[in-house]
Amino acid sequence: MNLLKKPSTTGGIIYLVVLGALFVGLGVVAYGAWRTGISVMGCAFGLAFLARAVLPEERAGMLRVRRRYVDLTALAICCTGMIILATVIPQAPA
């Protein structure tokens, strides 16, 4: 009995890549390099945004949650917000 199934769409594969990148970014944040971790997470959301923008509805898979414009807006806000936070927040004095 095989419990792990391969994603059937390109969007499903990209979703798993994005999810993996988010966990890597979260791990980097947990080990103290928060700026790098947040940047990795922002780039992961950027990848999801690009994939959702380019892939047709039937190939979007798990990236397709709502209507395209709602998904793209949410992903763009997450991507932009995280990258802005990583660049704007000043370094804490040592």
The tens digit of pLDDT for each residue in 43-84 reads 999 999 999 999 998 888 888 888 999 999 999 999 999 999
Q: Is residue 19 pLDDT above 90, yes or no?
A: yes
In this structure, is residue 94 part of a structural domain? no
Asked which of 7-11, 58-62, 85-89 is least confident by mean pLDDT, the reply is: 7-11
In this structure, is residue 17 part of a structural domain? yes
The DSSP-derived string for 1-35 is -------SSHHHHHHHHHHHHHHHHHHHHHTT-HH
Three-class SS state of 80: helix
Domain that holds residue 18: 12-88
In this structure, is residue 3 part of a structural domain? no
In this structure, is residue 58 part of a structural domain? yes
8, 29, 37, 74, 91 from 49: Cα distances, Å:
20, 22, 18, 9, 29
Q: Supply the pLDDT for residue 94.
A: 64
Confidence of residue 36 (pLDDT cuts 50, 70, 90): very high
Q: What percent of the chain has pLDDT over 70?
A: 97
Instruction: Report the domain count for the chain.
Output: 1
What count of other Cβ atoms lies within 10 Å of the Cβ of residue 75? Answer: 23
